[in-house]
Amino acid sequence: MLAEITAHSLLPLIFLLLGGGVLLWAGAEFLVKGGIGLAQSLGFSPILIGSTVLAFGTSAPEGFVSVMALFEGRGGVAVGNILGSNVCNLGLVLGATALLRPMKISRVILMRELPIVFLATLFFWGLIAQLGLGRVTGGLSLLAFAGIYLYLVRVSRIALPPGLEKQEREGSLGWDLFFVIGGLAALAGGGHLFVEGAGGMALRFGMSEEMIGATVIAFGTSLPELVTSLVAAFRGEIDLSLGNLLGSNLFNLLLVGGFLGVLRPISVGDQVLAFQLPMVAAITLLIYPLCLLTLPRMVLGRIGGGALVLFYLVFLWFA
């Protein structure tokens, strides 16, 4: 790694961290701007754009890491990565976002998106419990993923406010795609630089490679979701932010998990069935009572955000 080469000097590592941070933030700004534009240009709701285009891009690191782990013979790491990332998305990322910027949760999120993610978790859990994670489970997961998104595309067009499809706006579809692709590229580059810099710092201060992998690298794969959600929330695009996180969880479970099973059957341990999958389901449900604390406003505030972060820390402790 570049970080290993430069670990003898702090200055290059600081530049890596700063450069990575700037790229991450700029990439998130571009991605959110392009996502909003796509929603208006194509006539889709921001929730759908967040849960498709943005979620696919920000979930790419987790998918790449899981597939690489699978082909290295570490199936448990591959499965643990996607499940741990899902808890991280709703615990650390959503929790940190709500701590910094309380979020009003829309009825569509509460009544449609969250139940879909919860039911998808139960579906994946049930398949693994009964059939293991093999080609049948993988194939059924991929079919479920396709069915869910066909439904969401149809409903998201119907549910648009009147006139939005005809809304005139500056720019064009081409520029929107440019912002999305450029934003994703900047997020990928920024995340890589940030992890390299942080890894070099950790080596310099005596952390083991195993500890770096469990902390710096694991956090690094969630950086795109974290920064994108923060930027979207601070720009008032709450549906885009939440769509990104919930869509990322669907991508991780059904698409990445499905591909893992199809590519190579994995022996799933008790840790996955008895702890990791239940925790993914539990944190999805936890959002409801946290929102009910603020009735009738239905805001996920700082108390709720703190509770989600605490849940994630408990998950890490017992994992």
Q: What is the DSSP string of 287-310?
A: HHHHHHTTTTS-EE-HHHHHHHHH
Q: Is the pLDDT of residue 119 over 80?
A: yes
State the average pLDDT over residues 310-318: 90
Q: Comparing C-alpha atoms, which of 2, 49, 272 is closest to residue 160?
A: 49
CA 269/CA 74 separation, integer angstroms: 12
The answer to whether the CB of 276 falls within 8 A of the CB of 83 is yes
Q: At residue 266, what are phi and psi to the nearest 5 degrees? A: -120, 135
State the pLDDT confidence band at 212, using cuts at 50, 70 and 90.
low
Mean pLDDT computed over every residue of the chain: 83
Q: Of the given ranges (2-11, 53-62, 73-82, 295-304), which has the lowest mean pLDDT?
A: 2-11
* In the predicted structure, residue 271 carries a pLDDT above the cut 70: yes
- Quote the pLDDT of residue 207: 64
Residue 46 reports pLDDT greater than 90: no
Indicate whether 33 pLDDT > 90.
no
Lowest average pLDDT, out of 33-37, 156-160, 202-206, goes to 156-160
Region of 43 (left: φ > 0; alpha: ψ -120 to 50; beta: rest) is left
Mean pLDDT computed over 186-214: 70
CA distances from residue 53 to 38, 119, 180 in whole angstroms, order as listed: 9, 22, 8
Mean pLDDT of 272-289: 93
pLDDT at 6 over 60: no
* pLDDT for 157: 67
Q: Which residue has the tokens 């009964």?
A: 130
Lowest mean pLDDT among 12-16, 19-23, 175-179, 192-196: 192-196
Q: Find the range with the poorest average confidence among 97-101, 196-200, 292-296.
A: 196-200
Tens digits of residue pLDDT in 68-109: 778 878 788 788 878 888 998 999 999 999 999 999 999 889
What's the pLDDT at 5?
A: 45
What whole-number distance in Å separates Cα of residue 119 and Cα of residue 287? Answer: 15
pLDDT computed for residue 2 by the predictor: 45
pTM of the predicted model, to two decimals?
0.81
- Contact (CB, 8 A) for 92 and 309: yes
Domains identified in the chain and CATH numbers: 2-158+173-318 (1.20.1420.30)
